[in-house]
A and B are shown apart, each in its own frame.
Chain A
Amino acid sequence: QTVVTQEPSFSVSPGGTVTLTCGLSSDSVSTSYYPSWYQQTPGQAPRTLIYNTNSRSSGVPDRFSGSILGNKAALTITGAQADDESDYYCALYVGRGIKVFGGGTKVTVL
């Protein structure tokens, strides 16, 4: 069974930078897994931030960026703002039409 790992939580100061990661239990994450990132606030539907590793979705501020760092996918928030306080999920395509989400990272801005 494929397990996608994310940090449970992160805290960042306003204006600061935070990098969230997305790993695989059994392999290194590469662009072949088509990493994507989603932001969700309580009671709301997810919002797509990043697709295909590092492409920003329409309307997403450029303070959000995606990359591969070492053997993981990464989402970096540069210049964090109060309304970035959310849950962040990554998803990886693992083949045969199947995607797997990570457990999510709760980001607090304070």
Chain B
Amino acid sequence: EVQLLESGGGLVQPGGSLRLSCAASGFTFSSYTMTWVRQAPGKGLEWVSAISGSGAYTYSADSVKGRFTLSRDNSKNTLSLQMNSLRVEDTAVYYCAKGYGNSWGDAFDIWGQGTMVTVSS
């Protein structure tokens, strides 16, 4: 069964750091783009950052550029999002999502259950 399991969420103070992980199973991890999508409480979905199957290329939304770093370990089937200089407006549920293929235009076919990040003093 294809599955994504996020972890690492929690409560952090403004300016702090947090590292989210997404454990993948049931598919050839290195063959697919992977993406983080977030959803602030009561708000819509926001695309955050994406990484190619090899890990050589990443793209991020302007709202997180320079603060968040996306990486993957294809040997461990794990996706990671290092979040630094966190702001109150980064408070959201963070979803890990698998692409249909390894092209940037590919939609997401599998979603994790999400992990909550709360930035508050």
Which residues of A come within 8 Å of B, CB atoms?
1, 34, 36, 38, 40, 45-48, 51-52, 57-58, 87, 89, 91, 93, 96-104
Q: Does B44 contact A (CB under 8 A)?
A: yes
Contact across chains for B113 and A89 when beta carbons are under 8 A apart: no
Size bracket of the B interface: 20 to 34
A102 touches B104 (CB 8 A): no
Cβ contact within 8 Å between B50 and A46: no
Which B residues lie within 8 Å of A104 (CB)?
Answer: 44-45
The reply to whether the CB of B1 lies closer than 8 angstroms to some CB of chain A is: no
What chain A residues lie within 8 Å of B35 (beta carbons)? Answer: 99
Report 23 cross-chain contacts, Cβ distance below 8 Å, ordered by A residue. A34-B106, A34-B107, A40-B45, A45-B95, A46-B111, A48-B109, A51-B100, A51-B107, A51-B109, A87-B44, A89-B45, A91-B45, A97-B50, A97-B58, A97-B59, A98-B61, A99-B35, A99-B47, A100-B47, A101-B45, A102-B44, A104-B44, A104-B45
Query: Quick one: which of B61-101 are within 8 Å of A by CB?
Result: 61-62, 95, 100
A89 to B46, CA, bound (A): 10
Closest-by-CB residue of B relative to A52 is B107
Chain A residue nearest to B57 (CB atoms) is A97
B105 at the interface (CB under 8 A from A): yes
